[in-house]
């Protein structure tokens, strides 16, 4: 179907489009309000103060009425046109509106000149005036075809234009705007249109039934103690999240209407907690089974309850009273947001929550909706027979990504209206990506609202109105300390010359350095996967060849300081309790080493020394971290590892590396053989090795490398000595002596620094004591000077 045919279908909306063109929507609303107010005042005036014989007042009343009534009727007509199911018409009102704007000889140009087109351009901070007036191939209505002929929405319509108008596509491409972004924006604008439309229609059954009823108070009791230790749930005000949880909400309803054991246990991520306010809204709407009509959800504040009760007896007394109140009130559904945590913290008082709850859970009088994260569910709830019996479990898949976008877009409409700011589309995208990537721990709703309120506040303070991608990145940078904006010139040069910079500290290992530098350039130019760690490396090689030093150099050059290195000695995580020590213990409440490290500073290099020594459990955990950049700690809270560079070092396969080196082969060419040998020996599982971005083989150091290293070390040492007033250099022969002593096949160059310091420093000290050198002297040490 071409656009000219589509326009025929759009005729249905013509009266509404014509109305908007004659008098704008907002103006009409204001006018109608004014006339209604005047009419109301006149009616009151006439009824209260005026005798019937006063004809002027009645005359005015009737004249105003004769204007008001057709106005209202026309608005109702207008509304009816807009709200008709667009699937029946064949297209949405927004598409119809753009079709009736401008000139049919240039579809693209007329779309861009329509109000909607202008808004889209504004969101992309684009000026298309030049494009519209430029000489280009112009497409007429009959030239452009839409793919789907039964129902055309905005994104389908615009998608068809972009697909067929090559110049327009190039124009977008030149401004770094993808088709997908334009279509996403179209979908949002259309969703927003319908949400606003639904909000304005107070006369629908849905809206009218939302008004709370007054008779409920007489029929049901109050739960005074529960009210102190809980929060009464308010029904969700927007409709946006319903679609995401519709099926689950129906399932919960089915569970709650059972005659006994009507308790639901929702297992999954934190986003599931949104279901609480959605369920309340569903009940308020009234389209639920009679068994849960008029019910109120109360979220039990378990922490408060435990901290107030303090001891076992008081807690038991209070909790039983609350449960009895729930039965007495008759219209309460009890919500426990984190059932495993509640069970465990009650355990700390010596209270067994589950046996206490059991008779209530079994009865028809109490309904509980409890939530749990998957990991804690498996650990605490699944082994418990009573829980399995009395609760119906509901496993919900993770919907975080979709939800963050939906909430952000919805809340942006609200903030734009109330704060007078305007979000560019790239800013919206940056917010969604940023929250997904950097703020994984808290509820995304809180993160979104906090971020948007923060942003609007800052922009208003600056006297600006438009929020750009840069503003968003600046805020995130400030909040996280992670650089996010495009690399600046200095940094760009650093990235380009990364090999050179790293080689100032790392001698040899050319292939290793090249592979690392490539990965980092990929990361910083933004083409790496944002839902994984920044980079993951497995460094293989014998001891003392520069693996750890490379990690340090990376931290210093890429993250600004060597302090940005977080080091874990994985040989400490080899016992049966390894995993608990690493991510924390749920039973003892002890925090794990890794979550603590990453929460304190989620940015830098994570160095996993002697990775091969970690237990199998730990290796399995890293399978997930390397893949998703995210893991859960002992309490089920998410920990973010997406902003770190993971470097695991291992000397597994060293024998083979030595052997190849002895045979004079370039070990970096034998990476596959070395990895195969490691996998064969079952040191690492093949899937673990495969998940690293790059496996880097460090070759054993040749004598010339070691001499160079020794020189660098000696330079550092002489700088230190110079500060003490002595200038010391080593003769080549002395350097050879040190190298001979400091290098072993077992420890590589690891001992070199120690030997150098010991020998040179003790020689200098001895000579100073003997009076052979004084402050201000400079000298060259020979081999014989070093001999003790």
Partner 1 sequence: MSLVSYAIWHYGKALKTAWSLWGNFIAFVFNFFSIRLLLKTYFSKFGRLGEKYRGGLDLENLLSTFVINTLMRIVGVLVRTVVILTSLVAIILVVISGLILYVIWLALPLVVLITLVYGLTLLI
Residues interacting with partner 1, by CB under 8 A?
14-15, 18-19, 55-56, 58-63, 65-66, 69-70, 73-74, 76-77, 80, 203-205, 208-209, 211, 213-222, 286, 293-294, 328-330
* Beta carbon of residue 445, minimum distance to partner 1 (angstroms, whole number): 29
* CA dist., res. 20 & res. 334, Å (int): 49
Q: Which is nearer to partner 1, 174 or 211 (CB)?
A: 211
* Beta carbon of residue 112, minimum distance to partner 1 (angstroms, whole number): 27
Q: Which is nearer to partner 1, 286 or 483 (CB)?
A: 286
Q: How far is CA 464 from CA 55, 417, 455, 457, in A?
A: 55, 15, 11, 10
Q: Which is nearer to partner 1, 285 or 685 (CB)?
A: 285
* CA dist., res. 81 & res. 79, Å (int): 5
* Beta carbon of residue 317, minimum distance to partner 1 (angstroms, whole number): 18
Q: Which is nearer to partner 1, 60 or 683 (CB)?
A: 60
Kindly state the DSSP code that residue 644 receives in the 8-state scheme: E
Long-range CB pairs of 545-549, under 8 A, 24+ apart, other chains included: 545/509, 545/698, 545/699, 545/700, 545/701, 545/748, 545/749, 546/506, 546/507, 546/508, 546/509, 546/698, 546/701, 546/749, 547/649, 547/698, 548/607, 548/609, 548/649, 549/505, 549/506
Q: Which is nearer to partner 1, 145 or 220 (CB)?
A: 220
Supply 505's token pair: 């500290």
Detail the DSSP E strand segments found in 140-288: 230-232, 264-267
> Do the Cβ atoms of 8 and 149 come closer than 8 Å?
no
Other CB atoms within 10 Å distance of the CB of residue 210: 15
* Beta carbon of residue 300, minimum distance to partner 1 (angstroms, whole number): 21
* CA dist., res. 733 & res. 783, Å (int): 6
Which positions ≥6 away from 361 have C-beta within 8 Å?
A: 261, 263, 368, 386, 390, 391
Q: Which is nearer to partner 1, 221 or 352 (CB)?
A: 221
Q: Which is nearer to partner 1, 14 or 724 (CB)?
A: 14
* Beta carbon of residue 326, minimum distance to partner 1 (angstroms, whole number): 12
* Beta carbon of residue 164, minimum distance to partner 1 (angstroms, whole number): 31
464 Rama class: left (phi>0) / alpha (psi -120 to 50) / beta: beta
* CA dist., res. 468 & res. 459, Å (int): 10
* Beta carbon of residue 293, minimum distance to partner 1 (angstroms, whole number): 8
* Beta carbon of residue 84, minimum distance to partner 1 (angstroms, whole number): 9
Q: Which is nearer to partner 1, 291 or 528 (CB)?
A: 291
Q: Which is nearer to partner 1, 79 or 718 (CB)?
A: 79
* Beta carbon of residue 380, minimum distance to partner 1 (angstroms, whole number): 35
Maximum distance among all Cα pairs of the chain, rounded to whole angstroms: 131
Supply 754's token pair: 């120690």
> Do the Cβ atoms of 422 and 471 come closer than 8 Å?
no
Q: Which is nearer to partner 1, 325 or 580 (CB)?
A: 325
- Residue from 380, 368, 339, 147 nearest 264 by CA: 368
* Beta carbon of residue 232, minimum distance to partner 1 (angstroms, whole number): 17
Other CB atoms within 10 Å distance of the CB of residue 175: 13
Kindly state the DSSP code that residue 145 receives in the 8-state scheme: B
* Beta carbon of residue 324, minimum distance to partner 1 (angstroms, whole number): 11
Q: Which is nearer to partner 1, 194 or 220 (CB)?
A: 220
Angle value at C-alpha 563, between 619 and 646, nearest 5 degrees:
25
* Beta carbon of residue 252, minimum distance to partner 1 (angstroms, whole number): 22
Q: Which is nearer to partner 1, 222 or 681 (CB)?
A: 222
> Do the Cβ atoms of 272 and 266 come closer than 8 Å?
yes
Q: Which is nearer to partner 1, 70 or 481 (CB)?
A: 70
* Beta carbon of residue 198, minimum distance to partner 1 (angstroms, whole number): 15
Which positions ≥6 away from 417 have C-beta within 8 Å?
A: none
- Residue from 267, 589, 223, 226 nearest 397 by CA: 267
E strand or H helix at 92, and its extent? none
């Amino acid at each position: 179907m071409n656009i000219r045919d589509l326009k025929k279908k759009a005729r249905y909306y013509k009266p509404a489009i014509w109305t908007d063109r004659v008098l704008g929507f907002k103006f009409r609303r204001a006018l109608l309000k004014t006339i209604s107010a005047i009419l109301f005042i006149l009616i009151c005036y006439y009824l209260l103060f005026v005798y019937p014989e006063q004809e002027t007042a009645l005359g005015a009343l009737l004249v105003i009425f004769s204007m008001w009534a057709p106005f209202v009727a026309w608005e109702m007509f207008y509304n009816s046109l807009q709200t008709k199911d667009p699937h029946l018409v064949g297209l949405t009102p927004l598409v119809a509106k753009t079709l009736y704007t401008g000139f049919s000889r240039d579809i693209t140009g007329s779309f861009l000149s329509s109000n909607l087109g202008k808004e889209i351009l504004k969101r992309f901070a684009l000026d298309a005036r030049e494009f519209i007036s430029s000489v280009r191939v112009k497409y007429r209505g009959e030239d452009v075809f839409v793919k789907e002929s039964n129902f055309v929405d905005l994104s389908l319509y615009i998608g068809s234009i972009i697909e067929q108008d090559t110049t327009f596509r190039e124009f977008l491409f030149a401004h770094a705007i993808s088709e997908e972004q334009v279509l996403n924006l179209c979908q949002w604008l259309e969703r927003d249109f319908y949400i606003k439309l639904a909000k304005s229609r107070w006369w629908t059954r849905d809206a009218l039934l939302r008004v709370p009823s007054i008779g409920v108070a007489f029929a049901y009791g109050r739960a005074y103690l529960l009210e102190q230790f809980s929060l009464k749930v308010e029904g969700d005000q927007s409709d946006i999240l319903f679609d995401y949880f519709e099926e689950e909400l129906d399932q919960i309803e089915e569970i709650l209407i059972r005659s006994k054991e009507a308790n639901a246990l929702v297992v999954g991520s934190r986003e599931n907690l949104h279901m609480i306010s959605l369920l309340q809204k569903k009940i308020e709407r009234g389209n639920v089974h009679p068994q849960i009509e008029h019910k109120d959800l109360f979220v039990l504040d378990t922490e408060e309850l435990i901290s107030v009760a303090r001891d076992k007896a008081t807690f038991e007394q209070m909790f039983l009273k609350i449960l009895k109140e729930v039965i007495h009130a008759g219209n309460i559904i009890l919500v426990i947001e984190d059932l495993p945590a509640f069970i465990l913290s009650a355990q700390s008082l010596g209270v067994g929550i589950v046996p206490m709850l059991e008779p209530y859970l079994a009865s028809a009088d109490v309904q509980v909706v409890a939530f749990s994260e998957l990991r804690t569910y498996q650990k605490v709830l699944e082994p418990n027979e009573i829980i399995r019996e009395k609760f119906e479990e509901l496993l919900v898949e993770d919907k975080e990504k979709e939800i963050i976008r939906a909430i952000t877009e919805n809340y942006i409409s609200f903030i734009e209206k109330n704060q007078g700011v305007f979000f560019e589309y790239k800013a919206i995208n940056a917010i969604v990506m940023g929250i997904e990537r950097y703020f994984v721990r808290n509820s995304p709703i809180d993160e979104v609202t906090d971020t948007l309120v923060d942003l609007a506040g800052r922009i208003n303070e600056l006297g600006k109105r438009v929020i750009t991608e840069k503003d968003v990145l600046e805020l995130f940078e400030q909040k996280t300390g992670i650089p996010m904006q495009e690399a600046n010139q200095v940094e760009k040069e650093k990235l380009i010359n990364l090999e050179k910079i790293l080689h100032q500290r790392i001698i040899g290992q050319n292939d290793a350095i090249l592979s690392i530098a490539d990965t980092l350039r990929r990361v910083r130019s933004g083409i790496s996967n944002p839902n994984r760690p920044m980079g993951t490396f497995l460094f293989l090689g014998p001891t003392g060849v520069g693996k750890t030093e490379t990690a340090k150099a990376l931290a210093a050059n890429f993250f600004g300081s060597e302090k940005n290195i977080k080091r874990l000695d994985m040989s400490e995580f080899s016992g049966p309790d390894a995993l608990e020590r690493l991510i924390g213990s749920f039973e003892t409440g002890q925090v794990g080493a890794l979550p603590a490290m990453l929460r304190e500073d989620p940015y830098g290099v994570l160095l996993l020394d002697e990775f091969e020594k970690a237990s199998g459990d730990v290796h399995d955990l890293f399978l997930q971290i390397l893949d998703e950049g995210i893991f859960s700690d002992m309490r089920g809270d998410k920990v973010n590892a997406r902003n770190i560079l993971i470097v695991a070092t291992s000397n597994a396969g060293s024998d083979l590396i030595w052997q190849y080196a002895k045979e004079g082969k370039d070990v970096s060419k034998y990476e596959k053989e070395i990895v195969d040998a490691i996998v064969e020996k079952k040191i690492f599982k093949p899937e673990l090795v495969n998940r690293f971005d790059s496996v880097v083989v460090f070759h054993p150091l040749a004598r010339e490398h070691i001499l160079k290293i020794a020189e660098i070390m000696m330079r550092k040492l002489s700088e230190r000595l110079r500060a003490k007033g002595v200038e010391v250099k080593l003769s080549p022969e002395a350097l050879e002596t040190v190298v001979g002593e400091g290098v072993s096949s077992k420890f590589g160059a690891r001992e070199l620094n120690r030997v150098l310091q010991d020998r040179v420093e003790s020689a200098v000290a001895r000579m100073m004591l003997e009076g052979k050198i004084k402050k201000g002297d400079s000298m060259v040490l020979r081999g014989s000077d070093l001999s003790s």
